């Protein structure tokens, strides 16, 4: 059964810091690994999708890596800004490909 | 391009009432799903569909019904609301019928309170 875990649950940093969010998954038979952002009271927005054959995916100040063999993904945020404050969730499919399983998220607070 | 549209945004029900949460997507996606999000529990899958006429249960299906008569619409029905169904409900869709194969798009959510 696919299980997705995110560490830490919460993170507070001053503006300008580089930071790393961690995601681990138990079943490596994944199509892709997806990272989402959720602002308070809002829906989820897709940030990055890393295909299982890829090692990295970049979008602006965001860089996500994937190591299928160890069941880990990281989301690197460079030069953090107050506007980055949100909850970040990662997700991977279950073995049957019928569901996307989510971690509980990391809530990031960037202070100015 | 509207994406995934959910209605209503907010709803208050009394125990035992019934209602339908609406979800529509205009991207011709095959896969659609309903999640509920609760504090400390994260997102949990209620039901999903891999195409018109095909639905199946997720992790927490009890108390909910779904149908998918068209590619675009995937309504979620609460037959007899209970306080335990107080939650935020999200509808999502993706192009491929295999979950996780493509980017998953989410609606803005429905915030439901059952008194």
**Which residues face A109 on adjacent strands?**
A12
User: CB contact, 8 Å: B27 with chain A?
Assistant: no
Question: A45–B106: do the CB atoms touch at under 8 Å?
Answer: yes
From residue B74, alpha-carbon distances to A108, B30, B58, B105 in Å are: 33, 11, 14, 14
Strand-pair partners of A20? A76
Closest-CA distance, B6 to chain A, in angstroms, reads 11
In chain B, what percentage of residues exceed pLDDT 70?
A: 99
What lies within 8 Å, CB to CB, of A48 at 6+ separation is A34, A35, A57, A58, A59, A62, A64, A75
Spatial contact of B75 and B24, defined as CB atoms under 8 Å apart: no
The residue behind tokens 């998954």 is A25
| Ordered per-residue pLDDT tens for chain B, 115 residues | 679 999 999 999 999 999 999 999 999 999 999 999 999 889 999 999 999 999 999 999 999 999 999 999 999 999 999 999 999 999 999 999 898 889 999 999 999 999 9
CB contact under 8 A, A45 and B59: no
A94 touches chain B (CB under 8 A): yes
pLDDT at residue A100 greater than cutoff 90? yes
Nearest to A92 by CA among A22, A44, A23: A23
pLDDT single digits (tens) A40-55: 999 999 999 999 999 9
CB atoms within 10 A of CB B108: 17
Query: Are A89 and B43 within 8 A, CB to CB?
Result: yes
Looking at chain B, which residue has its C-alpha nearest residue A29? B100
Closest CA to B108 of A107, A10, A39: A39
For chain A, say whether B54 makes contact (Cβ under 8 Å).
no
CB pairs under 8 A between A and B: 66
Q: Is A103 on the interface with B (CB under 8 A)?
A: yes
- Report the largest interatomic distance among the alpha carbons of chain A, rounded to a whole angstrom: 44
Q: What is the DSSP string of A29-49?
A: --SEEEEEEE-TTS-EEEEEE
Measured distance CA(A28)–CA(A3) in Å, rounded: 11
- Count the residues in chain A: 112
For chain A, where are the E strands, in sequence order? 4-7, 10-14, 19-25, 32-38, 44-51, 56-59, 62-67, 72-77, 86-93, 100-102, 106-111
């Amino acid at each position: 059964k696919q299980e997705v875990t995110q560490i830490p649950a919460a993170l507070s940093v001053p503006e300008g810091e580089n930071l790393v969010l961690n995601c681990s998954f138990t079943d490596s038979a994944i199509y892709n690994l997806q990272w989402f952002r959720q602002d308070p009271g809002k829906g989820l927005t897709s940030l990055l999708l890393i295909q299982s054959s890829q090692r990295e995916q970049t979008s602006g100040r965001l860089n996500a890596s994937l190591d299928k063999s160890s069941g880990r993904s990281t989301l690197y945020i460079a030069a953090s800004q107050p506007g980055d404050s949100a909850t970040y969730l990662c997700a991977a499919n279950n073995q049957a490909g019928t569901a996307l399983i989510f971690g509980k998220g990391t809530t990031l607070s960037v202070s100015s | 391009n509207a994406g995934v549209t959910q209605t209503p945004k907010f709803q208050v029900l009394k125990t035992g009432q019934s209602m339908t949460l609406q979800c529509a997507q205009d991207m011709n996606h095959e896969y659609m799903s309903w999640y509920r999000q609760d504090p400390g529990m994260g997102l949990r899958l209620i039901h999903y569909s891999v195409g018109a006429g095909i639905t199946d249960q997720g992790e927490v299906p009890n108390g909910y019904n779904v149908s998918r008569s068209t590619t675009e619409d995937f309504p979620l029905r609460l037959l007899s609301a209970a306080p335990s169904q107080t939650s935020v409900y999200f509808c999502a869709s993706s192009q491929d019928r295999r979950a996780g194969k493509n980017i998953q798009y989410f609606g803005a959510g429905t915030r439901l309170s059952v008194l």
